């Protein structure tokens, strides 16, 4: 098997999902005592989150680049960043890596194409919903992106940082998310992408009539496919 380099900690709640599911799916595919070869860096999210709120993205980019280079040096054969928002910085340092970086929005787009979705609602942090890095990537695959209204974006973002990143799953927050999803469906979305690695902890596909695509699930599947790509 190939070795996965996992950059996590943003937040650790979602990173544990990555680690568990990478191993579970590899074992499911191969059986026995098989598990995924992985090298991992898990950061302290607090100082990074503070820089995010201050709009200081260049120092964050440098931090991510250094960790990715360390993963590469440690023997990783590809890199997965276990968060959606930080993929906005990938273009700043990806060319300095000599191994592939599996971009989460590419994983999402391939799944959307497979299910025939052409117009999706996007839920994530304020950065993911307001900026173009995700929408542009999906547009390259012919997918149009809708985002919630400004007030609803604030609710989605607040729940992510104040609750989900701390492992809190509150029924009232789940209901608020479902109301936002319903609005996106009414605006013409034929699917909704959960483009934050923590949202899938709160909302499940069985909770809605509209198809949900968990970006974390799509990303993990692509990383597993890479790990197994040369298995004999």
Q: Are strands 119-123 and 212-214 parallel, antiparallel or unpaired?
A: unpaired
Q: Which residues of 141-176 are buried (b: 16+ CB within 10 A; e: fewer)?
A: eebebbbbeeebbebbbebbbebbbeeeeeeebeeb
Which token pair is 90? 């990938």
**So which residues are the catalytic ones?**
83, 196
**DSSP string covering 106-124, please?**
HHHHHHHHHHT--EEEEES
In sign, the C-alpha dihedral spanning 106, 212, 221, 6 is positive
Which token pair is 2? 């190939």
Which token pair is 150? 């400004």
Q: CB-based contacts of 169: which residues, under 8 Å, 6+ apart?
A: 163, 201, 202
Query: Rg of the chain over CA atoms, in angstroms?
Result: 17
Collapsing DSSP to helix, strand or coil, 213 comes out as strand
């Amino acid at each position: 098997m190939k070795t996965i380099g996992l950059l996590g900690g943003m937040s650790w709640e979602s990173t544990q999902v990555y680690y568990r599911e990478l191993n579970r799916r590899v074992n499911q595919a191969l059986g026995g005592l098989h598990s995924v070869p992985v090298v991992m860096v898990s950061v302290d999210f607090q100082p990074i989150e503070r820089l995010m709120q201050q709009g200081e993205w260049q120092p964050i980019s440098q931090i991510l680049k250094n960790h990715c280079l360390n993963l590469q040096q440690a023997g990783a054969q590809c890199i997965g960043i276990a968060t959606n928002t930080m993929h906005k910085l990938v273009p700043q340092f990806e060319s300095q890596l000599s191994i592939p970086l599996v971009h989460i929005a590419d994983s999402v787009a391939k799944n959307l194409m497979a299910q025939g979705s052409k117009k999706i609602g996007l839920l994530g942090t304020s950065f993911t919903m307001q900026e173009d890095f995700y929408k542009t990537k999906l547009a390259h695959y012919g997918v149009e992106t809708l985002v919630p209204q400004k007030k609803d974006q604030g609710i989605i973002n607040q729940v992510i940082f104040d609750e989900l990143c701390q492992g809190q799953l509150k029924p009232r927050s789940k209901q608020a998310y479902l109301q936002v999803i319903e609005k996106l469906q009414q605006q013409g979305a034929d699917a909704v992408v959960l483009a934050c690695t923590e949202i899938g902890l709160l909302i499940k596909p069985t909770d809605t009539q509209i198809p949900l695509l968990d970006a974390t699930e799509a990303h993990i599947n692509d990383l597993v496919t890479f790990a197994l790509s040369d298995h004999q």
